[in-house]
């Protein structure tokens, strides 16, 4: 490997790493062969100033004349690599993180759709190419998990397959951190979440997005996606046993009634049990061609009913704790008779006293000027009575009350 200045880059070189943050990279992959003038021009026009090339895979810079030296000293033994650690992240407010999360989701959609297109075309997948994306998602989750998780829930139904993978990645990272797992495992589980549904790329679009019920053959095709995805990942590179396991077993149930292997209890790995919870939560809170997504709090309530047969109770308890009783975006009824939407749970996820945006009066049946109220502040008398169905009051969309401006991704 050799680090060079971007001015030294030429056609025929193989770039192993762009020395910029992933969001500033000119390509979604972190490595590629510069085999045409268009790629060279795009790189030089970007913010990249230095990059690492791999001369074993492409051209090298002109070799420098070596200076005379004494007999070479014995090479030192390589130091043992330190465990991976994420950079320190400063917790931020919901408002501060929303713009960054929206930009990240825009870039994520491009990267994941490109990767999935490669899978659909039958090309081998290099999972390590999207590790920088996983790391960016992890940093956003560490700054404020509700921002990215809340925004990705609003994905367009047509983009569900791509953005579902991003959502499960973020949820896996949040859950792994709640379970106090080391950073190296958090990172690996994030990649597992991103890759868990790649087998769906081998299912025809008309089956994946069918608005009505599936035929027996269509349902069989859908149920084959974990095995198909596992096979795709085995043919590629950069995947660990954990990533392979989550891909293959995220539809197993603790009662043994899942698929593809009908595993039960502790025969299902912790990682796969985590994947099952994150996969189902995002699926039931998202709009699909055949159904509207459920409210986040209602989804947690429904999953609680399924818990003993479907999910690991201890891991699900940790998931509820990291999401909060009333996740961001949940519509609640206040003691004052007003409706509000959870806008920010704040540090430590205040279970009963988050910041809400009040927007509707149930007594007058009239919309109110949106007002942010921090229920934890001294002197605030209002409190949450429980979740509420906004549609019952003729209100279709409440996302504008917790997002300051429309998210585009």
Q: 265 in the Ramachandran plot: left (φ > 0), alpha (ψ -120 to 50) or beta?
A: left
CB 134 within 8 A of CB 190: yes
Q: What angle do CA 261, 263, 268 make, to 5 degrees?
A: 120
- C-alpha to C-alpha distance for 273 and 292, rounded to whole angstroms: 25
Q: How far is CA 19 from the centre of its chain?
A: 23
Cis link prior to 260 (omega < 30° from 0)? yes
What pLDDT is recorded for position 206? Answer: 85
CB 140 within 8 A of CB 92: no
Range with the largest mean pLDDT of 46-55, 198-207, 265-274: 265-274
Going by pLDDT thresholds of 50, 70 and 90, the confidence category of residue 139 is: very high
Q: What fold is seen in the domain 94-323?
A: Hypothetical protein af1432 (1.10.3210)
Q: Mean pLDDT for the chain?
A: 87
- Mean pLDDT over 296-305 rounds to 92
What pLDDT is recorded for position 75? Answer: 65
pLDDT at position 161 over 70: yes
More reliable by pLDDT, 24 or 384: 384
Q: Tens digit of pLDDT for each residue in 79-116?
A: 667 888 999 989 888 888 999 999 999 889 888 988 88
Length of the chain: 409
Instruction: Return the residue matching tokens 């859950």.
Output: 175
- C-alpha to C-alpha distance for 176 and 28, rounded to whole angstroms: 26
What pLDDT is recorded for position 170? Answer: 97
Task: Name every residue whose Cβ is closer than 8 Å to that of residue 223 and which is 6 or more positions away in sequence.
Answer: 251, 259, 260
- C-alpha to C-alpha distance for 327 and 306, rounded to whole angstroms: 19
3-state secondary structure at position 231? helix
Range with the largest mean pLDDT of 48-52, 352-356, 378-382, 397-401: 378-382
- Mean pLDDT over 72-85 rounds to 71
pLDDT at position 189 over 90: yes
pLDDT at position 408 over 70: no
- Mean pLDDT over 148-152 rounds to 92
What pLDDT is recorded for position 160? Answer: 84
- C-alpha to C-alpha distance for 322 and 345, rounded to whole angstroms: 11
| DSSP assigned state of 126 | B
| DSSP assigned state of 359 | E
Q: Tens digit of pLDDT for each residue in 389-402?
A: 998 999 988 888 88
Going by pLDDT thresholds of 50, 70 and 90, the confidence category of residue 4 is: confident
Q: What angle do CA 351, 193, 399 make, to 5 degrees?
A: 45
**Burial per residue of 288-310, b for 16 or more beta-carbon CB atoms within 10 angstroms, e otherwise:** eeeeebbbbbbbbeebeeebeeb
- C-alpha to C-alpha distance for 399 and 406, rounded to whole angstroms: 9
Domain ranges of the chain: 2-53, 94-323, 331-401
In this structure, what are the phi and psi dihedrals at residue 300, rounded to the nearest 5 degrees? -65, -40
What pLDDT is recorded for position 64? Answer: 56
What pLDDT is recorded for position 405? Answer: 47
**Lookup: tokens for 49:** 């100033």
What pLDDT is recorded for position 79? Answer: 66
Task: Name every residue whose Cβ is closer than 8 Å to that of residue 148 and which is 6 or more positions away in sequence.
Answer: 97, 101, 104, 105, 137, 140, 141, 170
- C-alpha to C-alpha distance for 98 and 140, rounded to whole angstroms: 10
- C-alpha to C-alpha distance for 245 and 40, rounded to whole angstroms: 38
Count of Cβ atoms closer than 10 Å to residue 177 Cβ: 20
Q: Tens digit of pLDDT for each residue in 348-361?
A: 666 678 899 999 99
Verdict on whether the full-model pTM lies above 0.95: no
CB 186 within 8 A of CB 138: yes
Please state, in angstroms and as integers, the Cα–Cα distance from residue 50 to each residue in 20, 21, 216, 318, following that order. 8, 12, 54, 42
Going by pLDDT thresholds of 50, 70 and 90, the confidence category of residue 71 is: low
- The side-by-side arrangement of strands in the sheet containing 2-5 is 2-5, 50-53, 14-18, 32-33
CB 251 within 8 A of CB 273: no
What pLDDT is recorded for position 66? Answer: 57
């Amino acid at each position: 490997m050799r680090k060079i200045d971007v001015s030294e880059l030429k056609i025929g070189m193989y770039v192993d790493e762009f020395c910029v943050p992933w969001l500033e990279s000119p390509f979604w992959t972190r490595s590629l062969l510069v085999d045409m003038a268009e790629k060279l021009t795009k790189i030089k026009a970007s913010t990249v100033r230095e990059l690492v090339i791999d001369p074993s895979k492409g051209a090298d810079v002109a070799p420098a004349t070596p200076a005379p030296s004494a007999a070479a000293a014995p090479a030192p033994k390589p130091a043992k690599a330190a465990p991976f650690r994420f950079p320190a992240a400063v917790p931020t407010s919901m408002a501060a993180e929303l713009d960054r999360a929206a930009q990240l989701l825009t870039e994520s959609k491009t990267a994941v759709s490109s990767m999935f297109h490669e899978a659909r075309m039958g090309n081998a997948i290099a999972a390590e190419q999207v590790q920088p994306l996983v790391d960016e998602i992890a940093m956003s989750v560490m700054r404020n998990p509700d921002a990215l998780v809340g925004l990705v829930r609003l994905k367009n139904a047509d983009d569900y397959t791509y953005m579902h993978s991003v959502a499960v990645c973020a949820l896996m990272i949040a859950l792994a951190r709640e379970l106090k797992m080391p950073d190296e495992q958090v990172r690996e589980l994030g990649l597992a979440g991103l890759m868990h549904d790649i087998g769906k790329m081998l299912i025809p679009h008309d089956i994946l997005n069918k608005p009505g019920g599936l035929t027996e053959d269509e349902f069989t095709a859908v149920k084959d996606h974990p095995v198909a995805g596992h096979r795709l990942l085995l043919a590629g590179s950069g995947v660990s046993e954990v990533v392979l396991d989550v891909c293959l077993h995220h539809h197993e149930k603790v009662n043994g009634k899942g698929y593809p292997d009908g595993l039960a209890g502790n025969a299902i790995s912790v990682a796969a049990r985590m994947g099952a919870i994150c996969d189902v939560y995002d699926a039931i809170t998202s709009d699909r061609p055949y159904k509207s997504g459920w409210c986040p709090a209602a989804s947690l309530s429904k999953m609680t009913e399924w818990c003993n047969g479907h999910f690991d109770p201890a891991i699900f308890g940790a998931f509820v704790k990291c999401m909060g009783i009333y996740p961001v975006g949940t519509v609640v009824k206040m003691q004052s008779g007003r409706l509000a939407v959870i806008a920010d749970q704040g540090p430590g996820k205040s279970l009963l006293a988050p910041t809400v945006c009040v927007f509707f009066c149930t007594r007058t049946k009239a919309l109110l000027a949106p007002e942010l109220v921090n229920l934890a502040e001294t002197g605030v008398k209002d409190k949450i009575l429980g979740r509420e169905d906004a549609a019952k009051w003729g209100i279709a969309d409440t996302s504008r009350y917790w997002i300051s401006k429309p998210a585009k991704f």
